[in-house]
Amino acid sequence: MYEDILVPTDGSTGASAALGEAIELAAQFDATVHSLYVVDVASVGAEAGTVDLVESFERMGEDATEAAATRARDADVEATGSVATGSPHRAILDYVDDQGIDLVVMGTHGRTGLERYLLGSVTEKVVRTADVPVLTVRADEEDGAESDEAADDDAGDERT
């Protein structure tokens, strides 16, 4: 049913929780998990010295998506990681089209927003405009540490 599942990540606990769901779904459907980090160039700005800043965000994105792909592969799920540049929701929608993604799994919230909003702005725009289903995942408030979550997944215990 699902062959290519996209998990946009900004390195937040919300994105990490989304990855956990995506890995479980991908294992069920024998699907590939695609991790994508978007360097938000508008938020970086266009002043002198921003090339360095963009590069450091790119490196952070490579680390985050590689870690996500490793977590998926540890669960015997095929995975890829990539970094794009631009406005996050547009880059996510472009990736959906270009790679034939059939499900997006993302956090209700991310790194930069306020919990009191129902949805982060990137997720809201993707939910509103994507042509494929979007599954949103809320990070467990008590489950802040990403490494704890990864450890839980490594144990491979059933949660039902």
Rounded to whole angstroms, how far apart are CA atoms 72 and 59? 20
Q: Which region, left, alpha or beta, applies to residue 39 given φ > 0 means left and ψ of -120 to 50 means alpha?
A: beta
Binding partner of 81, given Mn ion, ligand ATP, none, CB within 5-8 angstroms per partner class:
none
Decide if residue 20 touches ligand ATP (CB under 6 A).
Answer: no
Residue 2 CB, shortest distance to Mn ion, in Å, is 25
Decide if residue 14 touches ligand ATP (CB under 6 A).
Answer: yes
Which residues, 59 to 118, sit near Mn ion by CB under 5 A?
A: 110, 112
Given 4, 37, 79, 96, the residue binding ligand ATP (CB under 6 A) = 37
With beta carbons less than 8 A apart as the criterion, state whether 39 and 61 touch.
Answer: yes
Identify which of residues 51 and 114 has a Cβ nearer to Mn ion in the complex: 114
Please give the sequence-ordered ranges of beta strands (E in DSSP) within the chain, or none if there are none. 4-8, 32-40, 78-86, 103-107, 134-137
